[in-house]
Amino acid sequence: MKIFIAFEGFCESFDISSDQTVQAIKLMIKDYFNIPLSEDKQGRQYLDLIYAGAILKDSWILADVGISVSSTIKCVVKEEDKPVLYIYNVVTQEKVPIEGSISLLATKVSLLKTLVTLKCGLPNSVYCFRTPEGREMYDCNTLNDYQLDIGSTLRLDVWDGWKEFLTGCLLGNKHIVQRFLSDEDSVLKYQKRVALYVAAFFGHLELTAWILKQGVSSYEAVGVHPYREWCQETHHPDITKCPVHAAAEAGQLIILKAFVNYSVLCLQCQNPEGKIPLNVCIKHKHKDCVQYLVTKMWSVVSYPNFSLPMKIYIKLKQWLLRAQNHIPTLKWFNQATVFRTRVGDTVIVDGFTKTKMTSKARIKAAGNKNYKLPNLTDQTPHEKNSCPLTVTKENQKLIKLKLPPL
């Protein structure tokens, strides 16, 4: 049976049998046209045969798909890039591919964190990366410093005791989040900011509304864990990102509306690059969000006797808040009050202290672990003298159990 193969402007005839597979024809075409096909860690080149607009699979037989004599089959060479790295997320137990060129390995770990945050929705201050050998990776180093190969799998670890809490945030389950909140006041405030960021990214409205009622603002930066407040030089630039920026990046229109209704100050909140939520939505091409934010930005705030443009109104509110926050500092005459860490608090420094980001689980046990139920076989002296098989109603009133002291 004679068929024609169209390849890059050429059309050549081939004599084949009707019981040949597509894979066998591909080998014939490769040898005839001297097509260099390759497959390595970076990607692969392969042939595709197209007939009547459909791609033929390698295991198909020509006669079974209705290819007759003098039919023309189109042949194309395709390239497929393999992911440079894989990230194993301990929280979701998923393997996230990171696309790009080999030049990504020459960049810093901080850039990889930025890419992963856009994919998984977790603030970069709650997790760290580990090499396949288990070494912790620091933001200031490049990926090549850890001798990574193309296609390597990195492990994403979170703070100890946070795995269950972050799972609740990703699911938008308010009850799970409440159950695994920290007992430390400073860590508790940080967890609420993290929960609002994650809820904004994934569009969990119920969790967002609950956290806003707790006093957390959408224009408040997530920041870093209290254990790392003294490590400003090694902080990632994205720690100043706010929940409203996460909602803008993900295109969560309902969350943006909730944030604006709660406080219009989020309209002028700037990210590390100096962009407001409107610019972020334009960058990520979220048309509905752009239309809504433009309408709000150019609206007017009306009062009984006068009206103010939204931009001027926001500037007045920001000036008022700065003045209110400045009052406690003047009252106590102590500039050191801006530091929240105190003597005896835990401080973690990269490379010097034992890490606390190993994704260890935190289990809250109900009740007192030392509590023991009373032994029901214990009897009073009156019971020991009586026969257990002949207990009257009067004796039952005298039976007393030994309860643990309150």
* Structural domains of the chain, ranges and CATH numbers in brackets: 2-81 (3.10.20.90), 86-298+334-338 (1.25.40.20)
What is the structure's pLDDT at 328?
63
**Per-residue pLDDT at 344:** 65
pLDDT tens profile 73-118: 888 888 777 788 999 999 999 999 988 777 888 899 999 999 999 9
Task: Please name the helix (run of DSSP H) or strand (run of DSSP E) that holds residue 246, with its range, or none.
Answer: helix 243-250
For residue 61, the tally of other CB atoms under 10 A from its CB is 14
User: DSSP 3-state assignment of 34?
Assistant: coil
- Compute the distance between CA of residue 95 and CA of residue 89 in angstroms, rounded to an integer: 6
Q: What angle do helix axes 287-297 and 310-332 make, rounded to 10 degrees?
A: 80
Q: Stretch 48-70: mean pLDDT, rounded?
A: 83
Beta strands in 94-246 (DSSP E): 94-98, 127-130, 136-137, 152-158
Confidence of residue 384 (pLDDT cuts 50, 70, 90): very low
Helix (H, G, I), strand (E, B) or coil at 69: coil
Query: Which of 37-41, 311-315, 381-385 is most confident?
Result: 311-315
pTM of full prediction above 0.75: no
- Token pair belonging to 176: 């799970």
pLDDT given for residue 329 in this prediction: 56
Q: Using CA atoms, how far apart are residues 316 and 204, in angstroms rounded to an integer? A: 31
What pLDDT score was predicted for residue 241? 93
Whether the per-residue pLDDT at 54 is higher than 70: the answer is yes
Whole-angstrom Cα distance, residue 248 to residue 146? Answer: 34
Q: Which residue has the higher pLDDT, 43 or 359?
A: 359
Rounded distance between C-alpha atoms, residue 167 and residue 170, angstroms: 5
| Separation CA 374–CA 299 (nearest Å) | 70
Between the alpha carbon of residue 340 and those of residues 177, 346, 381, the distances in Å are: 24, 12, 60
Q: In what order do the strands lie in the sheet with 10-15?
A: 10-15, 2-7, 72-81, 43-51, 54-55
Give the model's pLDDT for residue 300: 86
